[in-house]
Amino acid sequence: MNQPASAYFLEERHDPNETHTLSVLVQNEPGVLARVIGLFSGRGYNIESLTVSETESQKHLSRITIVTTGTPMVIQQIKHQLDRMIPVYRVVDMTLTGSSIERELAMVKVRGGGDHRVEALRLADAFRARVIDATTESFVFEITGNSSKISQFIDLMRPLGLVEVSRTGVAAITRGPEGM
Amino acid sequence: MTDKSHDPNQMTGAAMIVRALIDHGVQHVFGYPGGAVLPIYDEIFQQSEVEHILVRHEQGAGHAAEGYARSTGKPGVVLVTSGPGATNMVTPLTDALMDSIPLVCITGQVPTHLIGNDAFQECDTVGITRPATKHNWLVRDVNDLARVLHEAFYVATTGRPGPVLVDVPKDVQFATGTYHPPRKSDVHISYTPRVKGDATQIRKAVAMLANAKRPVIYSGGGVINSGPEASKLLRQLVEATGFPITSTLMGLGAYPASGPNWLGMLGMHGTYEANMSMHDCDVMLCVGARFDDRITGRVDAFSPGSKKIHIDIDPSSINKNIRVDVPIIGDAGNVLGDLLQVFKAEAKKPDIKAWWQQIAQWRARNSLSYRKNNDIILPQYAIQRLFELTRGKDTYITTEVGQHQMWAAQFFGFEEPHRWMTSGGLGTMGYGLPAAVGVQVAHPDSLVIDIAGDASVQMTIQEMSTAVQFELPIKIFILNNQYMGMVRQWQQLLHGNRLSHSYSEALPDFVKLADAYGCVGLQATKPSDLDGAIKEMIAIKRPVLFDCRVAALENCFPMIPSGKAHNEMLLPEEATDEATAKAFSGGKALV
C-alpha cells in the first residue's frame, strides 16, 4: 500500500550565513577557554577569530571576543549555549548592537630591496602602519584596524616580499557610555 | 595565632567529602575503590550515616546513581578512583547529561605534584569529562574543597539538572583545611537559572490555547524532573482545557496512561493517533521536551500548520530544532502553575469536539495491534502480561535499549511519574540492570523490574553480583530473541536484510547464570507458561534473571522511518516488503 505523501506544502528555508562578533564575559578560572572552544568544536560551530585576555584581574574576569559565522538560528544557538555555561556571566552580540567598534592588530614582516622596499614604505604610510623593526633588507610593520583593512594591507605586501604575519584576532567594544 | 586543633571544622579533605555528603542529605553512594580514593574510603569505613553500595564496574555505579536519582528526585552520588575509574564513568555521565539527571561524581586523582606526569592511573579527568558534564572542577587546594562540593550539588540539582564531577587529588584528600556547611556564596554568581516564566508570554500562550481548534499537549522529561507537583499541574491543565496529551519516552507517567485524554507516546515508535495529532494540530503546547530527532522525524514537515508554545528551563532548547512562536523560559512546574491560573481566570474550555472525533478515527486504526500467537511468546504480549500481573503493585520499571525498550514504552502503562527509568537521549545498552540496582536501593520494599533484551543485559550483567551482595531483589525480565533486535530491524529495513553481526551466536544459559550469581533463574518458552512464571518471579524476594524466550523475528511497529514526516508512519499491517522498501528509500544515511 502506498504511503501518503505529506499533505502539506513545505516551505524550504535556505537561510544565508551571517558573521557575528560575540563578546563573552567569563570568570577567569582554569579550563574556561577549553570549555568555550570545546563547545564550538563539539557542536560544529565556526570560529573565524578568537581573542581572550583577563580584563579585570581583581574580579578574575576575562573577556573573550569571538567572530563566528552561521545561519541566524545557529548564531542564536551559539549565544544560548555559551550563556548556559556556569562560568559565563554575559554574552553580547556586538553585531546586533549595531554600534560596536572592532579592531585587530597585526605585525607584518616584509623582506626586499630597491623599488619594492620604497613601495612597501609608501603603502605602509597610506595605511598608517608603523615601522617597529627595520634592517637593511627588511621591515616589520605594525598595523591596527578592522580585519578587512589588515587583510587588504597584507595582500598588497605579498608581491613586495611578504615573509610572515602575526594577527591578534578581533577585539570589540560598544560605542557610547554604557558597558556590556 | 589561634589554636585550630580543637576547631571541629578543621579536617582532612577526605573527611570534608563525607561531611559534605551528610550535609546534603546523601544516604547512599555508589562506588568502587582504588588507589586515588583510599583516604575517602577510609573515612567511609569510620562512619555509618552514608551507606556505600559497592558495584562491580564503575559504569554500573553511574547508572545505579541515575536510577536512584530518577526514582527519588534526589541527586545520585558516585565515588570512583582516578584513571580507568574516571574513564569508565564517561558513559553514565553523558547519559545523565542527555537525560538531565542530577549526578554528583567524585573522582580521585593522582597527587597534584604528579599531575601531567603520566603517573600510574592518571588521566585528564576534567578534560575528558568536560563535554560529558554540566560542569566539573579539579580541586587543587583543600580550602576550596567545601565550597566546590556545595557548588557541585547546587549546580547538579538546579536549573536543567545534570551530572557534575569533582576531581580531588590524593594529596588534597590527606591535607587538612577548613570546612564550612553549605551557604549561598558557594555558588558562581554567573550561574542564575531562570525558574519563573515571563507573564506576558504566558498570557500570549493562554490566548492561543483558548482559541485552539485542534490543540495537542506534548510533554517531556522536564515535567518529571520538575517534581511531582509539575505532574499534578499538568493533569489539572489537561482537565481544565480538555486537550489531548502525548508524551516523549522520558515523560511517560506525568499524565496517567489510563487517563481519558492520553494519546500514547509519540515519535518514531509512537502511536498513530499521537503522531497524527502532532502533525495536524493548530496549537501545540510543548512542556519540558526538546524536539529531539526521534520525536520530530523530518524537521521541515514537522507539524507544519501549528503555532507552537515551548516551555523549557534551558534557553538553548528553544528554537534549536524547531522554530516556536511563544517560548517560555522557566521551570515546567512553575510555568504550568502560572499558566493554569491565567487559563482558569481568563479563558474557558474551547470546543474541540470535531478534533476529538478525528482523533477517535485515528485511534480506531489500533496502531499497536499485533497478531496473537498461541505457540510462541510475542514480546508485546509478554510486556502486556507483565503489566497486567503487576497492576496495583508498587512497581518501578527500568529498561535497556532497543526493541524491548520501545515495546515496554508502548505496552506498559505508567500511572505516576518517577516510575519509569530508561536511557532516552544517549540510548545506552546496559543502563537498565544497574539502574534497577539504584532504584531498589532507594525503594527497598518496592517491585523493581528491568525489562531487558538478551544483548543489552550482557553489557552490565556483572551487577547481578551487586544485587546479591546487598540483597536487592531486582527482577531482570529478559525478552530473549537471540538478536540485537533493533539493529536487525534496521538491517532488514535499510540494508537489504543482510544481518551483519546482529545475531548472538553464543548466548549464556541465563538460568544457569542466575544460579552462578547466587540468584534465581526462571524461564518461559510458551505463552501458556508465561503468567505462572511471572507470578513466581514477583513472589520471589531475591534477585531474579527471567529468561523469556520470545518470537525471534518480531519487529517494532508502528514506525516513522528516519527522514519521514509524522503522517508517513508505517503501521504493522502495512509493513509489507514493497511498502517498507518505499517508506525507507532515501533514509539510509540518517540514524
Asked if A50 and A65 sit in the same domain, the reply is: yes
Domain boundary among A65, A97, A129: A97
Asked if B132 and B260 sit in the same domain, the reply is: no
Long-range contacts of A115-124 (CB under 8 A, 24+ apart): A116/A160, A116/A161, A117/A160, A119/A160, A120/A157, A120/A160, A120/A161, A123/A153, A123/A156, A123/A157, A123/A160, A124/A153
Residues of A in contact with B300 (CB under 8 A): 10-13
Q: What is the pLDDT of residue B573?
A: 79
Helices (H), A3-113: 32-42, 72-83, 94-97
Amino acid at A30: P
C-alpha cell at position B76: 545520585
d(CA B238, CA B225): 19
Domain boundary among B549, B564, B579: B549
Asked if B217 and B169 sit in the same domain, the reply is: no
* Per-residue pLDDT at A64 exceeds 70: yes
Instruction: Mention every residue, 6+ apart, whose C-beta is less than 8 A from residue B142.
Output: B12, B13, B16, B172, B175, B176, B177
Domain boundary among B303, B338, B363: B363
Q: CB–CB of B569/B560 below 8 Å? A: yes
Residue A108 counted as domain residue:
yes
Interchain contact, A10 vs B304, CB within 8 Å: yes
Asked if A93 and A109 sit in the same domain, the reply is: no
Interchain contact, A35 vs B130, CB within 8 Å: yes
Residues of B in contact with A35 (CB under 8 A): 130
Residue B152 counted as domain residue:
yes
Asked if A26 and A92 sit in the same domain, the reply is: yes
Residue of A12, A80, A86 with shortest CB distance to B316:
A80
Q: CB–CB of B488/B482 below 8 Å? A: no
Condensed to tens digits (0 to 9), the pLDDT of residues A106-153 reads 999 999 999 999 999 999 999 999 999 999 999 999 999 999 999 999
Asked if B404 and B332 sit in the same domain, the reply is: no
CA distance A42 to chain B (A): 8
CA distance B540 to chain A (A): 47
Instruction: Mention every residue, 6+ apart, whose C-beta is less than 8 A from residue B496.
Output: none
Interchain contact, A10 vs B574, CB within 8 Å: no
Could you tell me the pLDDT band of residue A12, with boundaries at 50, 70 and 90? low
Residue B567 counted as domain residue:
no
Reply yes or no on whether B58 is catalytic.
Answer: yes
Reply yes or no on whether B120 is catalytic.
Answer: yes
> Which CATH number does the domain housing residue B448 bear?
3.40.50.970
Residue A10 counted as domain residue:
no
Domain that holds residue B154: 10-186
Residue A165 counted as domain residue:
yes
Q: CB–CB of B275/B207 below 8 Å? A: no
Reply yes or no on whether B278 is catalytic.
Answer: no
> Which CATH number does the domain housing residue B241 bear?
3.40.50.1220
What is the DSSP-derived secondary structure letter of residue B285? Answer: E
Residues of B in contact with A4 (CB under 8 A): 567-568
C-alpha cell at position B505: 551466536
**Average pLDDT, consecutive stretches of 10 residues, N- to C-terminus, chain B (591 residues):** 74 98 98 98 98 98 98 98 98 98 98 97 98 98 98 97 98 98 89 95 98 98 97 98 98 98 97 97 98 90 95 95 96 98 96 98 95 96 98 97 98 98 98 98 98 98 98 98 95 91 92 98 98 98 98 94 87 77 70 71
Residue B3 counted as domain residue:
no
Asked if B354 and B410 sit in the same domain, the reply is: no
Residue A8 counted as domain residue:
no
Q: What is the pLDDT of residue B3?
A: 59
Asked if B270 and B392 sit in the same domain, the reply is: no
Reply yes or no on whether B486 is catalytic.
Answer: yes
Residue B167 counted as domain residue:
yes
Q: Please give the ipTM for the structure prediction.
A: 0.90
Residue A3 counted as domain residue:
no
Domain boundary among B126, B154, B186: B186
Asked if A78 and A47 sit in the same domain, the reply is: yes
Residue B570 counted as domain residue:
no
* Per-residue pLDDT at A37 exceeds 60: yes
Out of B10, B49, B51, B120, the active site residue is B120
Mean of all residue pLDDT scores within chain A: 91
CA distances in angstroms from B249 to A160, B130, B253, B291, B292, listed in the order given? 65, 27, 10, 12, 11
Domain that holds residue A106: 101-174
Q: What is the pLDDT of residue A8?
A: 40
Asked if B383 and B347 sit in the same domain, the reply is: no
For residue B557, the surrounding DSSP H or E stretch is: none
Q: What is the pLDDT of residue A6?
A: 39
Give all strands of the β-sheet with B395-399 in edge-to-edge order: B420-421, B395-399, B447-453, B475-480, B544-549, B520-524
Interchain contact, A1 vs B134, CB within 8 Å: no
Domain count of chain A?
A: 2
Q: What is the pLDDT of residue B505?
A: 83
Interchain contact, A7 vs B568, CB within 8 Å: no
> Which CATH number does the domain housing residue A48 bear?
3.30.70.260
* Per-residue pLDDT at A169 exceeds 60: yes
d(CA B315, CA B317): 5
Rounded (5°) CA angle B474-B475-B476: 115
Amino acid at B226: S
Interchain contact, A77 vs B582, CB within 8 Å: no
> Which CATH number does the domain housing residue A115 bear?
3.30.70.1150
Counting one residue from A and one from B, how many pairs have CB atoms under 8 Å apart? 73
Could you tell me the pLDDT band of residue A10, with boundaries at 50, 70 and 90? very low
d(CA B284, CA B491): 34
Domain boundary among A45, A76, A97: A97
Residues of B in contact with A84 (CB under 8 A): 160, 314-316
Residue of A3, A13, A77 with shortest CB distance to B582:
A3
* Per-residue pLDDT at A2 exceeds 50: no
Residue B571 counted as domain residue:
no
Q: What is the pLDDT of residue A1?
A: 31
Amino acid at B440: Q
Place of cell 505532574: B231
CA distance A165 to chain B (A): 32
Asked if B31 and B168 sit in the same domain, the reply is: yes
Domain count of chain B?
A: 3
Condensed to tens digits (0 to 9), the pLDDT of residues B315-352 reads 999 999 999 999 999 999 999 999 999 999 999 999 99
Instruction: Mention every residue, 6+ apart, whose C-beta is less than 8 A from residue B169.
Output: B36, B108, B109, B110, B111, B112, B115, B138, B139, B140
Probe site for chain B from A84, A85, A88, A89 (most B CB atoms < 10 A): A84
Backbone angles phi, psi at B259, to 5 degrees: -65, 150
Instruction: Mention every residue, 6+ apart, whose C-beta is less than 8 A from residue A119.
Output: A160
Interchain contact, A77 vs B323, CB within 8 Å: no
Chain A from 52 to 111: CB within 8 A of any B CB: 73, 76-77, 80-81, 83-89
Domain boundary among A36, A71, A97: A97
- Report pTM: 0.95
What is the DSSP-derived secondary structure letter of residue B458? Answer: G
